[in-house]
Structure 1
């Protein structure tokens, strides 16, 4: 799939940006975090990795994006084996103690929803946390038919995202 063709595709859900707050009803929710180290330097290194598609690549996915760094409106095609997942970055977090981005699904993605990838620094104890939040539902008949397996796979991949940092 040509990345330029992704630019013209619409998002497949209406709750754009909802990973920043209350996850919307009618979707499967995922909210995971893991402590990945300590210190400001560890936070900066992890933040750089997140914004350069490091969680996806570290989880074993192939990533093709029209931007080296996650930026609003950047399009990305994430592949895991034969499964292709076209997405568009819908938000970027750039705060002193939290960095990351969220992308939403485009037409052709087997799911419909949004996923947030972030790293957070806790100044109270210098702990650094990786975070993944998502809401999704099947967008294809074959994803609906394999829903229990698909939900398990999503959880396994989300844990791989966290370990990638």
Structure 2
């Protein structure tokens, strides 16, 4: 399915924008969800920052982490709907998301997306690449979610471990 226009799909949670706000303001994530925050050093200097930010905003991070993203998917932009494919081998499911916000400065780039109806989880995830004053490039994934499908509820705490593993794969995919 094309990267935009997933008709009839609505966001599956009311706290829209909360993950990006929590990152920017160091405020708490919404209660009633599992919370996730992982960080990793990705490289050093402006060139590594630009490479990591480009991988993030062009969905290359997702692809390198093993998430299927349709090849025609444009660069992350607010309001863009994307149909991600997740799973192992023949056991796959779709994970429709909507980009909530894209942000950037000379030293920070990122975006947040939220889950749409049909996603195995309900919640939001923010991805950020930052160039620190010490020139280290740091990647961060910040999320809140809860199961929304029978199979993710059945997975219980193992579902959170899977989410953490995927977040770590995202950051590894950004490492220059």
* Separation in 1, partners of 2:153, 2:19: 22
Aligned residues: 164
* Separation in 1, partners of 2:106, 2:34: 30
* 1:116–1:132 contact (8 Å) kept in structure 2: yes
* Separation in 1, partners of 2:115, 2:72: 16
Report the secondary structure of 1:64's partner residue.
Answer: coil
With normalisation by structure 1, the TM-score equals 0.93
* 2:3–2:80 contact (8 Å) kept in structure 1: no
* 1:65–1:75 contact (8 Å) kept in structure 2: no
With normalisation by structure 2, the TM-score equals 0.88
CA distances 1:43-97 after superposition (whole Å, capped 9, x unpaired): 0111111000122111111102764200000011111231210000001011121
Pairs within 5 Å for 1:78-89? 78-81=84-87, 82-89=92-99
Report the secondary structure of 1:6's partner residue.
Answer: coil
1:41 CA drift (Å): 1.0
* Separation in 2, partners of 1:2, 1:73: 14
* 1:66–1:75 contact (8 Å) kept in structure 2: no
RMSD of aligned alpha carbons? 1.6
Q: Which residue of 2 aligns with 1:23?
A: 29
Q: Which runs of 4+ in 1 moved over 2 A?
A: 1-5, 64-67
Change (3 A) 1:6 1:120: same
* 2:108–2:130 contact (8 Å) kept in structure 1: yes
**Match for residue 112 of structure 2 among 90, 99, 102:** 102
* Separation in 1, partners of 2:71, 2:99: 10
1:8 CA drift (Å): 3.4
* Separation in 1, partners of 2:74, 2:149: 30
* Separation in 1, partners of 2:101, 2:8: 18
Unaligned runs of 5+ in 1: none
Q: Which residue of 2 aligns with 1:8?
A: 8
**Is 1:111 paired with 2:117?**
no
**Match for residue 41 of structure 1 among 21, 34, 47:** 47
